Amino acid sequence: MNNQLPIRTVLFDLDGTLADTAPDLAYALNCVLEEQGQEALPFETIRPVVSHGGIALIKLGFGIEEEHQDFELLRQRLLEIYRENITRETELFPGMQDLLCAIEDEDMNWGVVTNKPSWLTEPLMESLSLTERAACIISGDTCENRKPHPEPILHGCHLAGSDVEQCLYVGDAERDIEAGRHAGVRTAVALFGYIGEDDNPQDWRADVLLDSPDDLQEWILSFIEE
């Protein structure tokens, strides 16, 4: 039997971990590019950047920094288009629905801790029919700090009614694992998420690297006392 405390709460990053949002964010970026008379980018180029948000997408698409006079206008336009198409193609990653059901069937709970702002997180969760099921939904503007600061994860643990020793945080970016480690929860890397070529998840010091939600389910259940 595993000698660590059983996991009671699983907290997920949203983009690239719980839901595959890349198609809709890529669509929004390419719409902005085409509006500005530029060529659309291949999906494969955009996908690894999605977890880093609108700022990173504008930098990728237009090759400009935040100080550029047009940067904020372009970013706002990107988010406007994205909000209008927030579940155009977005869906849970394969196997994730079964994982959530398995968590619930074991009398555990789950929630979301994301840097996505609430005005995008909330309609997305609602469209995916997940709002009522989640024990907590922590957006990028819920707390004073955002990941990689541990505050959002600590707040998520509190709302879910679990001690940090009973929680697992799952994400696909280094800041996710950093936030989880500093919060004192166990951490898992979703290798099926938006991992870039220059990322080295093996160096992030997570508790486990997972190829699929099925692997995550098996690992979580290993902590349940018999």
Of 13, 20, 24, 215, which one is the catalytic site residue? 13
Q: What's the rounded Cα separation, in Å, for the pair 77 and 102?
A: 39
Q: What's the rounded Cα separation, in Å, for the pair 179 and 105?
A: 28
Place of tokens 């989880």: 180
CATH class of 9-20+91-221: alpha beta
* Residues in CB range of 209: below 8 A, 6 or more apart: 188, 189, 191, 201, 202
103 in Cβ contact with 10 (< 8 Å): yes
The kind and range of the H/E element at 75 are helix 71-84
Catalytic residue at 176? no
Of 15, 20, 24, 215, which one is the catalytic site residue? 15
Q: What is the pLDDT of residues 11-44, one digit of tens each?
A: 999 999 999 999 999 999 999 999 999 999 999 9
Catalytic residue at 15? yes
Q: Which amino acid is at 187?
A: T
pLDDT at 2 over 70: no
Q: What's the rounded Cα separation, in Å, for the pair 74 and 82?
A: 12
**103 to 26, 65, 221: CA distances (angstroms):** 31, 42, 9
Q: What's the rounded Cα separation, in Å, for the pair 157 and 9?
A: 7
Q: What is the pLDDT of residues 61-106, one digit of tens each?
A: 999 999 999 999 999 999 999 999 999 999 999 999 999 999 999 9
Specify the range with the lowest mean pLDDT, choosing from 80-94, 135-149, 210-224. Answer: 210-224
Q: The pTM is what?
A: 0.94
